[in-house]
Amino acid sequence: MDISCVLEYLRYKIFARHSRGHGIHSPFVFRLVSEVFRNKNKPDIVSSIEKTRKRMLADTRSIKVTDLGAGSGKMKSSVRKVSDIARYSSVPPKYGKLLASMASAYGRPAILEFGTSLGISAMYMAASCPGTELITMEGCPETSGIAAENFSLSGLNNITLLTGSFDELLPGIKSKGVSPGMVFIDGNHRREPLLNYFSQVADISGPDTVVIIDDIHITKEMSEAWREIKRHEKVSLSVDIFRMGMVFFRKGMPRYDYIIRY
Each residue's pLDDT tens digit, 250-261: 988 888 999 999
Q: For the chain, what is the domain count?
A: 1
pLDDT at 72 exceeding the cut of 50? no
List the strands of the sheet with 133-138, edge to edge.
Answer: 159-163, 133-138, 110-114, 182-185, 210-214, 244-248, 237-240, 256-259
Phi-psi region of 119 (alpha: psi -120 to 50; beta: other; left: phi over 0): left
Which DSSP symbol is given to 75?
-
Q: Would you say 189 and 70 are in contact if contact means Cβ atoms under 8 Å apart?
A: yes
CATH code assigned at 87: 3.40.50.150
What phi and psi values does residue 102 have, to the nearest 5 degrees? -65, -40
For residue 224, the enclosing domain spans 3-259
What phi and psi values does residue 64 have, to the nearest 5 degrees? -90, 115
For the whole model, what pTM was predicted?
A: 0.93
Quick check: bond before 109 cis, omega within 30? yes
Q: Sorting pLDDT into bands at 50, 70 and 90, what band is 99?
A: very high
Q: Would you say 117 and 89 are in contact if contact means Cβ atoms under 8 Å apart?
A: yes
For the stretch 121-168, pLDDT in tens is 999 999 999 999 999 999 999 999 999 999 999 999 999 999 999 999
Q: How far apart are the first and last CA of the chain?
A: 21
